[in-house]
Amino acid sequence: MEDVIKMLTPFSNKTICQLKVGDVVSISGYIYCGRDAVLPRICKELKEGVWEKRGIDLKGGVVFHTAVSPAGVGPTSSNKLEIEGSFETLSKKGGIKMHLGKGAIKPETVEMLAENNAVFAIIPPVTALLESQTLERECVAWSELGMEALYRIKVENYQAIIAAAKGRSIYDK
Amino acid sequence: MKSEKLIIEKVADCLVRAGSTFREDQKEAYRNALADEQIDSSCWVMKQVLDNALVAEERRSPLCDDTGIPHLFLEVGPNKCVTGALLEEIKEGVRQGLRQLPGRPMAIKGDDYARIDQSGGLDEDSGALAPSPIIIKPVEEDVLRLTVLMLGGGPAIRGITQRVFHKHSVDVVIDEIVSRAIPAVGQLGCSPCTLAIGIGRSQFEATSLMMEAMAKGDFGIQNDFERHITKKVNETNIGPLGLGGKYSVLATFAKIGPQRASGVRIVALRPCCCFEPRRATIAL
Task: Please check the confidence at residue A104 and state whether its pLDDT lies above 70.
Answer: yes
Query: Over pLDDT 70: what percentage of chain A?
Result: 98
pTM for the whole structure = 0.94
Q: Is there a contact between A129 and B48 if contact means CB atoms under 8 Å apart?
A: yes
Q: Is B242 on the interface with A (CB under 8 A)?
A: yes
Task: Please check the confidence at residue A159 and state whether its pLDDT lies above 90.
Answer: yes
- Residue-wise pLDDT for B195-251, tens only, equals 999 999 999 999 999 999 999 999 999 999 999 999 999 999 999 999 999 999 999
- Residues in chain A within 8 Å Cβ distance of B103: 71
Q: Is A122 on the interface with B (CB under 8 A)?
A: yes
- Residue-wise pLDDT for A50-92, tens only, equals 999 999 999 999 999 999 999 999 999 999 999 999 999 999 9
Helix (H) or strand (E) holding B225: helix B224-234
pLDDT classification of A1: cutoffs 50, 70, 90: low
Residues with Cβ < 8 Å from A157, sequence gap 6 or more? A26, A27, A28, A133
Task: Please check the confidence at residue A5 and state whether its pLDDT lies above 90.
Answer: yes
Q: What is the ipTM of this complex?
A: 0.91
- Residues in chain A within 8 Å Cβ distance of B242: 103-104, 171
CA dihedral A97, A100, B108, B267 (to 10 degrees): 140
Q: Is A127 on the interface with B (CB under 8 A)?
A: yes
Give the pLDDT score at B1. Answer: 62
Strands B107-108 and A134-141: unpaired
- Give the whole-angstrom CA distance, residue B4 versus residue B85: 9
Residues with Cβ < 8 Å from B153, sequence gap 6 or more? B66, B68
- Give the whole-angstrom CA distance, residue B59 versus residue B256: 37
- Residues in chain B within 8 Å Cβ distance of A164: none
Strands B278-283 and A119-122: unpaired
> Which of A64, A69, A142, A168 is the mutation pick for testing B, counting most B CBs within 10 A?
A69
Structural domain that includes position B162: 3-283
Q: Is there a contact between A146 and B61 if contact means CB atoms under 8 Å apart?
A: no
Q: Is B236 on the interface with A (CB under 8 A)?
A: no
pLDDT below 50 — which residues of chain B?
none
Q: Which DSSP letter does residue B269 get?
A: E
B14 φ/ψ sector (left φ>0, alpha ψ -120 to 50, else beta): alpha
Number of domains in chain B: 1
Residue-wise burial string across B66-98, b where 16 or more C-beta atoms lie within 10 A, e elsewhere: bbbbbbbbbbbeeebeeeeebeebbbbbbbbbb
Q: Is A171 on the interface with B (CB under 8 A)?
A: yes
Just give the CATH number of A5-168: 3.20.130.10
